[in-house]
Copies of this chain bind each other. A is one copy, B any other.
């Protein structure tokens, strides 16, 4: 990456920092700290980041290794529906900022990560609400000495841009008097809808029978795998008239869907992409 011109890198461990000192001498580096992910429908809380005390030591070490200890970052989790998550995380970063300035490290940047939510089935705060909450917290903690602010609003930008067109493969019941129908689609967890794991991201559906009488459904993908079940506990309802061959649309599937698609599980081809 350094050879290709990248001059700013994230890190969260000593081993990574020493790799950077070797491979990207003098580069700007920023440390990711662990923050709460409460309120996020797709949490990203544990895998990256380190505790504040360790971040402090690593930022000092970065300077000693000839790197530029440029900033701090965090991630409040993807599809974050609570503005308070950003406020709490900014307070945490501000504490460390002060500590580091006291230790002689001139931190100049805060990366607020991503997480801004898309409207799937339920209402979420407007992006302006997030903006107001974030700028309020930044001003409260940093006053007029605002650092550079970086944000990474991936899902928010592209989520609404994608629609998956799927076909109903089968509608069935497991027993004759079962009130819940199973609706099988030709796309599922391994065709790109990986974020339905644990029913985390709840996509909205549009069908040719919208408005007609509906009933409870379990929605599943096409493969032989039982884990390829999208929604069983999230109280989805679909029209009773829905039948094999009907096309349904999954809305706001612009984020991450095509890249998650498996290359051939059960022989299904990856999703075809059409841009309009």
Chain A residues packing against B (C-beta within 8 Å):
12-16, 19, 34, 42-51, 53-54, 57, 170-176, 182, 190, 194, 197, 220, 224-229, 243-244, 256, 258-267, 270
Contact = CB atoms under 8 A, between A and B. Distances in A.
Contacts of A48: 224, 226
Nearest to A40: B226
Given A194-B190, A227-B197, A244-B15, A49 B263 contact: no
Contact of A263 (B14, B53, B261): B261
Given A260-B262, A260-B265, A263-B270, A49 B174 contact: yes
A-B pairs, top 8 by smallest CB distance, nearest first, are A13-B172, A51-B175, A44-B226, A47-B226, A259-B265, A259-B264, A263-B263, A263-B270
Q: How many copies does the complex hold?
A: 2
Contacts of A263: 258-259, 261-263, 270
A230 to B, nearest CB: 11
26 contacts: A13-B170, A13-B172, A14-B172, A15-B171, A15-B172, A15-B243, A16-B172, A19-B244, A34-B174, A43-B226, A44-B224, A44-B226, A46-B174, A47-B225, A47-B228, A47-B229, A53-B176, A54-B176, A190-B260, A194-B265, A197-B197, A256-B265, A259-B262, A260-B262, A260-B265, A261-B263
A176 B258 CA distance: 38
Contacts of A261: 262-263
Contacts of A16: 170, 172
A6 to B, nearest CB: 14
Nearest to A184: B47
B170 A15 contact: yes
A172 B12 contact: yes
